[in-house]
Amino acid sequence: MFELADQPIDSAAWRTRLAHGAAGALVVFEGWVRNHHLGRPVTELEYEAFDAHARLEGEAIIAEVEQDYPGCRVCCVHRTGRLRVGELSVWIGAAAPHRAAAFLACRQVIEELKRRLPVWKKEHHPDGATEWVNCTAEAATSRLSPETYHARQIALPEVGAAGQAALAAASLLVVGVGGLGCPAALYLATAGLGRLTLADGGLVELSNLHRQILFTADEVGVAKATAAAARLKAHNPLARIEAFATRVTPLNVRTLVAGRTAVLDCTDNFTARFLLHDACRAAGVPLVSAAVHRFEGELTVYAPGTPGCLHCQWPAHRPAELDATGDCASGPVFAPTVGVLGVMQAAEALKLILRTPGADFRHTRLLNLLDASVLAVERTANPSCPVCGQPAIIRSDRTPSRPDVILTEEAFVALGPVRTAWLLEAGETARAGFPGAECVLAGDVLRLRELAAAGPLVLACRSGVRSAALARLLRAEGMGAVFARAVGAT
């Protein structure tokens, strides 16, 4: 609840409004009129509001904060008119189940309010002079200047004014705000990006704090994306940071990835990694991926023009099975390993935006923090990759024959009406080989997965090879009723 008030604030009454049984903590912020500002004595303050707009903005701020901290209730009242020294100018109360969320929510309200609420204040000095705060020439020069903030970065010949402008126009998505995502986001938040989105559906946990360096012990239980965004906004008030405190799923991944300059894969499991990889590939967005195992880590940039794809490396593996073989989600981690890898991910992403000469996205880097070595491994495309290989080269005999995947014409007819996808090679005309089929780019595994999730699916293509390879891939991922027609175009 937000109010503008032209009469003194009754803080006791506001406190009562917030009382509810599920609340275990109330954090209150009171703004007081003080008797000095920038070294000059102040006798009175005069607050003026753009009423209708201020009410909407105030309500919006509270709605955002209540959404960021589930179970938290927030009230805020802001004074207008003339106030004497010692009077209450703003009262904010945040009641939450636990104190961590209450402190964070209260802080977020006052910071957002000072930045956004269309309210102005005029200082009255003892000599009768008056001054609108923040509206003087001195205020204009002393405000946080992006040029000054980024000066040492702009001084790099590889950045310069043009590079800084490219960063300001860039939009980045970090998926996973854990051991990798925390250090990556820290360096991205200070780079001057146009937009930075942090996506993570998890909560801060005590056993993760040793490597998830954006969080403090009193934030345990708070949504990671929300806590990280709050921390980074405090670190750099100029940064435009959004929290997406929800798990990335096949349903939201397209929207999240759309329009991004690059995406950072800071996840800890193959299911999420394949999902992000396929979504980025479909959207033509570069993906900077990293994974760690104890003292070792791996860094790979998948971008248009780099060799191969994630499926080249793991042909026809089920992500859940790959996850079961490792221990990255819950196993032991040497914290500096994720720290180094996360910062390297930020560096690769910034170089992608800056098109830095000398950047090399064709090698995968293998790091070993035990002997502090970095090995560059040249990536090559796997010619028989079901996703990015050429149909002329995909050797169907390399995967054991699975007769239940290939449908003969009789079996296809016997199946009755069924959803069908016609797979297109790059550059091929978008016209299905037979009526009723949806055209899908062969590399768009994301779309094929969506279709397969909706029920039985038959794949077909001109050669009959790609469809068989992709049907096997989707089967291997655990999709049941996916088939390939034995022949190509009819």
What residues are annotated to the active site? 328
Shortest Å distance, C-beta 90 to another protein? 5
Answer whether 336's CB lies under 8 Å from 380's CB. Answer: no
What are the angstrom distances between the C-alpha of 85 and each of 7, 12, 33, 129?
Answer: 15, 20, 5, 16
- A 10 A CB-CB count for 308 gives 20
303 in contact with Zn ion (CB under 5 A): no
Report the residue number, 308 or 433, with the smaller CB distance to Zn ion: 308
**Residues contacting residue 319 through CB under 8 Å, at least 6 positions apart:** 269, 270, 271, 273, 274, 477
Which tokens is 218 given?
A: 């009193």
With residue 25 as reference, give the H or E element that holds it.
Answer: strand 25-32
Nearest to another protein of 40, 115 (CB atom): 115
Q: Which is nearer to another protein, 56 or 151 (CB)?
A: 56
Partner in contact with 122, chosen from another protein, Zn ion, none, beta carbon below 5 to 8 Å by kind: another protein
Size of the site for Zn ion (CB under 5 A): 7
Binding residues for another protein restricted to 75-94, rule: CB under 8 A: 78, 89-90
Binding residue (CB under 5 A) for Zn ion from 117, 172, 186, 312? 312
**Contacts (CB under 5 A) with Zn ion, residues 381-420:** 385, 387-388
Cβ-contact 340, 367 below 8 angstroms: yes
**Bridge partner list, 354:** none
SS3 (DSSP) at 482: strand
In sequence order, the β-bridge partners of residue 120 are: 48
Stretch that binds another protein, among 114-122, 294-302, 317-325, 446-454 (CB under 8 A): 114-122
CB of 443 to another protein, least distance (A): 37
3-state secondary structure 85-128: CCCEEEEEEEEECCHHHHHHHHHHHHHHHHHHCCEEEEEECCCC
Q: Pick the closest to residue 102 from 128, 71, 132, 81 (CA basis).
A: 71
Could you list the beta-strand ranges (E) of 140-261.
171-175, 195-199, 241-244
User: Is residue 240 involved in binding another protein (CB under 8 A)?
Assistant: no
User: Considering only 159-167, 304-312, 366-374, 446-454, which stretch makes contact with Zn ion by CB under 5 A?
Assistant: 304-312
Contact 248, 236 (CB under 8 A): no
CB of 13 to another protein, least distance (A): 21
- Under rule CB under 8 A, which residues in 29-58 are in contact with another protein? 31, 47-48, 50, 52-53, 56
Q: Can you tell me the distance from the alpha carbon of 150 to that of 192, in angstroms, rounded to the nearest whole number? A: 7
* 311 binds Zn ion per the rule CB under 5 A: yes
- For residue 120, state whether it binds another protein (rule: CB under 8 A): yes
Of 135 and 377, the one with the shorter C-beta distance to another protein is 135
| SS3 state of residue 147 | helix
- # chain residues binding another protein, by CB under 8 A: 28
How many other C-beta atoms can be found within 10 angstroms of the C-beta atom of residue 477?
19
Segment lying near another protein (by CB under 8 A), choices 126-134, 199-207, 426-434, 443-451: 126-134
Of the pair 309, 459, the CB lying nearest Zn ion is at 309
Q: Closest CB to another protein among 230 and 292? A: 230
Tell me which residues touch another protein (CB under 8 A).
Answer: 31, 47-48, 50, 52-53, 56, 78, 89-90, 110, 113-122, 132-135, 139-140, 143
* Binding footprint of Zn ion on the chain (CB under 5 A): 308-309, 311-312, 385, 387-388
